[in-house]
Structure 1
Amino acid sequence: MALVLATVTAGTASAQRLPSHKDNLFAYPGVLSTEAGGAYRVVDYDEMRDINGRDEVPERRVKSRYVSTGVRRSQADLVADTAAGRVRYIAVGRRQNASIIVVYLHGQGGSRRQGVDDFTFGGNFNRIKNLAVSAGGVYLSPDFADFGATGAAQVAGLINEYAAASPRAPVFVACGSMGGALCWRLAKDPAVASRLGGLLLLGSLWDDGFFSSAAYQRRVPVFLGQGSRDKVFPVERMEGFFRSIRSRSPGYPVKMVRFETGSHGTPIRMTDWRETINWMLSAR
């Protein structure tokens, strides 16, 4: 696949863009309303259309047109030795001189395999794998010990290892559900924050401690995706967090998508990876 993502020093504004991959299938089905100059959007979500109409077996296997499984040729199940312990992880793409590094951190009860499953969550993980590989980048999905200090140290060790091998690659960390606890811990780590190109919180939690973090000081872009019917992390609390970021730091690069009628896992299925990361690249 052709390298279509220009390489620049992390932290420098650029015209990098992830290439197209099945954009028509993964575009948001419709925007019901916008606020804050488009930074906040309410996106139409319909279970009958977006699960039953998209999946061959609802929530278990997406229809074949949503996936391109040739990307598995670039996939490997590996182990990293970090100062916080050994970390099993799956890497897809270049492990050296990558143009971009994308990391997915699963929630409670998940594993490294969730983030590389081609057929669940409507094929959205298959899409980010293909986007990363076609851009000459790498996508990582690790296991970790917990959602506390040890887990964060393990993920930081993995990120630092890959950042050393690809020193010009911006790092994007996406956190599903409880994995967000690790996103916010990593935001406070100066070594990791200096590498970050963006944080994606997908059906996850908020953290007021973010305002004292190294990532906040560096104005690292933040994306918040939340289902309006999320019973684990109420959408109203995340909307409040979004407004708090904007009020404390006018012009801060933060966006939120509310998936109307969506549940806890909806943002993992529905978030447009390409649109989101390309926005983050343009905001750097």
Structure 2
Amino acid sequence: MSTGHFRIATLATVLLGLSTPVSAAPDGPLKPFKDDLFSGQAVLETRDGGDFEVIDYQERRDINGRDQIPERRAKAKYVSLGVKKQQANETLNLATGPLPVTRVGRAEGAAFTVIFIHGRGGDRRLGSNDFSFGGNFNRLKNLAIDNGGVYYAPSVPSFDAAGVTAVAGLVAHARAVSPGRPVILACASMGSFICWGIARETAAVADLAGMMIMGGATDPDFPKSAFAKAKLPLYFSHGSADSVYAATDQIALYDRLKKASYPTRFTLFATGSHGTPVRMTDWRGALNWLFTVK
């Protein structure tokens, strides 16, 4: 059985064993949640058998049209706040030291774990805000709850070796409390330094099922990493007009990996800026690909 088939079979078994059974959708194990609002993105261009897509992004529609207060508060239809009943701010006493997190979902025995790493100037509040970024984090929370998973938004202490150590501790914790279940690490902006650092940590890589880089920096040495050698799936999303980290650099890394038959996918938001991937990335689509990629 391939690694991808093993992951999807394991996750499907876990989901079907929940007290409220979840029926896997044809495109992956996570059932839809507000897909009409978040997943109906128009594809302008595609290549590599659909692994590289250019998505139509329009600020007037995707910010001003989605938000009651642009860039601050999404309209009510984009959020469902029942998940707050299963949300907690806590400090985990990890082997690597204490780490403040927001946890949404099961503390133990989760079907899967998603960990989001914020960028510079952020903390756990950024990844747990229901109304910012067009309600996209609220959708992620609901996807976690509805499918028996757990979502962590930690406050990363720094974007250097200390931050990598702290996040490695959280990855190990997630795997320990939900053994045998997939853990996905998603890093945005400067938080990508954490993902690239984790990719070099053999022990942490052994606990991961995949990573997401959202509007992040490029690591030209990634192909030498333990993560790359394990051929774990890597998903990129980026804005074409990102003035902080150039999309062309990230696309070059994707192309290099794709040429080597690496399991990777890239979503480019046409005209999108640095923060666009956090707002516009289709969490269900990305996670279902990471869970099912062969």
Aligned partner letter, 2:79: V
The answer to whether 1:260 aligns with 2:270 is yes
Paired with 1:5 and 1:122, the residues of 2 have a C-alpha distance of: 29
The answer to whether 1:6 aligns with 2:18 is no
Contact in 2 for aligned 1:7/1:16 (Cα 8 Å): no
Aligned partner letter, 2:293: A
Aligned partner letter, 1:265: G
TM-aligned CA distance change 1:7 to 1:191, over 3 Å? farther
Paired with 2:145 and 2:201, the residues of 1 have a C-alpha distance of: 27
Aligned partner letter, 1:215: F
TM-aligned CA distance change 1:131 to 1:5, over 3 Å? farther
1:124 to 132, 136, 144: 136
| Secondary structure of the structure 2 residue equivalent to 1:152 | helix
| Secondary structure of the structure 1 residue equivalent to 2:242 | coil
Q: Single out whichever of 217-226 and 96-105 deviates more from structure 2.
A: 217-226
| TM-score normalised according to structure 2 size | 0.90
CA offset at residue 137 of structure 1? 0.8
Contact in 2 for aligned 1:99/1:168 (Cα 8 Å): no
Aligned partner letter, 1:218: A
The gaps in structure 2 that reach 5 residues or longer are 1-10, 16-26
| Secondary structure of the structure 1 residue equivalent to 2:148 | coil
Per the alignment, residue 279 of structure 1 pairs with 289
Mapping 1:36-75, distance limit 5 Å: 36-75=48-87
Deviation string, structure 1 residues 19-50 (Cα, Å, up to 9, x no partner): 11000100142100111111111100000000
Contact in 1 for aligned 2:33/2:142 (Cα 8 Å): yes
Contact in 2 for aligned 1:44/1:260 (Cα 8 Å): yes
CA offset at residue 5 of structure 1? 4.6
Mapping 1:53-202, distance limit 5 Å: 53-202=65-214
2:39 to 2, 27, 30: 27
CA offset at residue 168 of structure 1? 1.6
Contact in 1 for aligned 2:118/2:156 (Cα 8 Å): no
Paired with 2:87 and 2:290, the residues of 1 have a C-alpha distance of: 25
| TM-score normalised according to structure 1 size | 0.93
CA offset at residue 82 of structure 1? 2.9
Contact in 2 for aligned 1:170/1:196 (Cα 8 Å): yes
| Secondary structure of the structure 2 residue equivalent to 1:163 | helix
| Secondary structure of the structure 2 residue equivalent to 1:113 | helix
Contact in 2 for aligned 1:6/1:16 (Cα 8 Å): no
Paired with 2:136 and 2:13, the residues of 1 have a C-alpha distance of: 24
Contact in 1 for aligned 2:108/2:177 (Cα 8 Å): yes
Paired with 1:83 and 1:18, the residues of 2 have a C-alpha distance of: 31
The answer to whether 1:228 aligns with 2:240 is yes
Contact in 2 for aligned 1:5/1:136 (Cα 8 Å): no
CA offset at residue 270 of structure 1? 0.4
CA offset at residue 192 of structure 1? 1.5
Percent identity (aligned)? 42
| Secondary structure of the structure 2 residue equivalent to 1:70 | helix
Aligned partner letter, 1:264: H
